[in-house]
A and B are shown apart, each in its own frame.
Chain A
Amino acid sequence: MNAVSKAKVAMYWAGSCGGCDISLLEIGPHLLELVAAADVVFWPCAADFKYHHVASYPDGYIDLCLFNGSVRNSEQERMARLLRQKSKTLVAYGACAISGGIPALANLATPEELFARSYTDCPSVDNPGGVLPRTETESLVGELEIPHFYPQVLRLSDIVEVDYLIPGCPPQATRVWEVCQAFLGGALPARAHEQLAGCTDKSVCDECTLEKRLVKISGFRRHHEAIPEPGWCLLEQGFVCLGAATRSGCGALCTKVNMPCRGCYGPSGEARDQGAAFIGALGSLLNAELEARAGELIDQIVDPAGTFYRFTMSDGDLKGHR
């Protein structure tokens, strides 16, 4: 590939923690292969490009744009639309861009509640004047405007057409490099409709090596309350592990170190709504012959909505609080 025809690659972060940018760096030495074969034309985390540089590119100039993070404000929406216009292939990279991720847990509260908690009610906040952030402010240089806050956390696909989804929080480096190789080798068609990449169709349980003893759950425990017995299925031990309802591709990294699966790769197989799918799975695993006992066990589960939809709140059927 000569310099003239080098592919153009971009990465952008919207409502995210930065972990997705780190996960791309995590491909390690392969990064050198990537930049040898492709030019980075926009990557705020790693290179000094400004928004106006992107705006000056011709439409479709970027061959592969990895967009991570959810959309919660008007700046993020503007960048999503701009990058869609400038990119041949737009990838929702990571759980936040695909399904809201951790930021979308805020969908269970109203903007008013969020602002009250963050700026006045939280015990560690010292804000005697009750000052809240405003979108417009008068200043010496005139009126300043910051991005508008939206009523709820949205997926990238709520704003623009998305070609590929690379799930994970963050996506695992080996999977990311596989997708990069497919792209560089021309094996990734430019346009697709929300096609999953960098994962499998199976569930995390398929990749998990912990022993299933086929016993039913007799009580739920949280991770800080007990130490799991090594080598034994965490769900059978009563730790809420979402592996049964979660797409694989991560290699069951968490359960390898006795950490229950948190569900970051999204719903597995044919399931659309990860939380509902997990309720379906969990319901068949309780050690209860009587309704009252089933009720007792269920009451031991803390915050079912936040736990079962930890990474998919914006993508489930309901998508947030009424």
Chain B
Amino acid sequence: MADPIAETAAPSPDGWEPRIIAFLCYWCSYTGADNAGTARLKYPHNVHIVRLMCSGRIDPELVTTAFARGADGVMVCGCHIGDCHYISGNHKTMARMPLLRRTLEAFGIEPGRFVFEWVSAAEGEKFARLVRDTVAGVRALGPLDWPGRLRARGVGHGRDLQPWGAQP
């Protein structure tokens, strides 16, 4: 079997590495990620995990902030519907995240950069596969670099603005 890391984690020629922020719920998805670790499943190191008590606590603002501050991709994972520790927290997630995805697309953020999946505490293998697929997808899309985009367009105090069409 081919090394899963070698397939997805080969650095780009210019040294760029995708930065993925993953927001995971405590009860299922974080435990699922833990399960991947204890089972010694390999996945790329590009993912930075942020644990919250429930996917229903993942404010869409966390996702927009992650992109605005330089994330190349964002993952949101929670308990499967019916499994929520708080009964209905993930029902809110299941409405928010697809709506957020549609909104992000209007801003030109490709669907592959925003991954929303259910991962149970037993699904370490699914989590590892999800991270591998996400990293591979984002690597293929290339850097997002939202902070650089904003700088180039003059957002921020007292910056020297470049007229449209001028060479930066």
B96 touches A283 (CB 8 A): yes
Whether a CB of chain B sits under 8 angstroms from the CB of A316 is yes
Q: A275-B64, A322-B146 are in contact. List 15 more A-B contacts (CB 8 A).
A: A111-B165, A152-B153, A154-B154, A273-B61, A283-B96, A284-B92, A284-B96, A290-B81, A294-B98, A297-B95, A305-B106, A305-B107, A308-B103, A318-B64, A318-B109
Instruction: Quote the shortest CB–CB distance from A302 to chain B (angstroms).
Output: 11
Give bound CA distance, A294 to B88, whole Å. 14
A279 touches B153 (CB 8 A): no
| Chain A residues in 8 Å Cβ range of B149 | 322
| Chain A residues in 8 Å Cβ range of B134 | none
For residues 177 through 232 of chain A, which have their beta carbon under 8 Å from a beta carbon of chain B?
none
A→B interface (CB under 8 Å): 74, 77, 108, 111, 135, 148-152, 154, 157-161, 271-273, 275-277, 279-280, 282-284, 286, 288-291, 294-295, 297-298, 301, 303-306, 308, 314, 316-322
Instruction: Quote the shortest CB–CB distance from A97 to chain B (angstroms).
Output: 15
Quick one: given A272-B61, A276-B60, A276-B64, are A322 and B107 in contact (CB under 8 Å)?
A: yes
B81 touches A318 (CB 8 A): no
B161 in complex: contacting residue of A77, A275, A290, A301, CB < 8 Å: A77
B146 touches A318 (CB 8 A): yes
4 tightest A-B CB contacts, nearest first:
A283-B96, A322-B108, A305-B106, A148-B163
A282 in complex: contacting residue of B99, B146, B150, B166, CB < 8 Å: B99
Can you spell out 5 A-B residue pairs with CB atoms less than 8 angstroms apart? A77-B161, A280-B60, A280-B96, A283-B93, A301-B99
B64 touches A273 (CB 8 A): yes
B102 touches A271 (CB 8 A): no
- Per DSSP, chain B at the interface is helix
Give bound CA distance, A108 to B109, whole Å. 12
Give bound CA distance, A157 to B56, whole Å. 33
Q: Which residue of A lies closest to B69 (CB)?
A: A317
Quick one: given A74-B161, A289-B91, are A298 and B102 in contact (CB under 8 Å)?
A: yes
B→A interface (CB under 8 Å): 56, 59-61, 63-65, 67-68, 81, 91-100, 102-104, 106-109, 144, 146, 149-150, 152-159, 161-166
Give bound CA distance, A321 to B150, whole Å. 10
Q: Which residue of B lies closest to A267 (CB)?
A: B61
Which of B56, B96, B107, B155: most chain A Cβ within 10 A? B107
Q: Which residue of A lies closest to B62 (CB)?
A: A276
A273 in complex: contacting residue of B65, B93, B154, CB < 8 Å: B65
| Chain A residues in 8 Å Cβ range of B107 | 108, 305, 318, 320-322
Give bound CA distance, A216 to B67, whole Å. 31
Quick one: given A294-B98, A305-B107, are A283 and B65 in contact (CB under 8 Å)?
A: no
| Chain B residues in 8 Å Cβ range of A303 | 106
Instruction: Quote the shortest CB–CB distance from B158 to chain A (angstroms).
Output: 7
Give bound CA distance, A160 to B99, whole Å. 35
| Chain B residues in 8 Å Cβ range of A304 | 99, 102-103, 106
Instruction: Quote the shortest CB–CB distance from A52 to chain B (angstroms).
Output: 23
Q: Which residue of A lies closest to B145 (CB)?
A: A322
| Chain B residues in 8 Å Cβ range of A154 | 153-155, 161
Quick one: given A272-B61, A276-B100, are A319 and B150 in contact (CB under 8 Å)?
A: yes
Give bound CA distance, A272 to B64, whole Å. 11
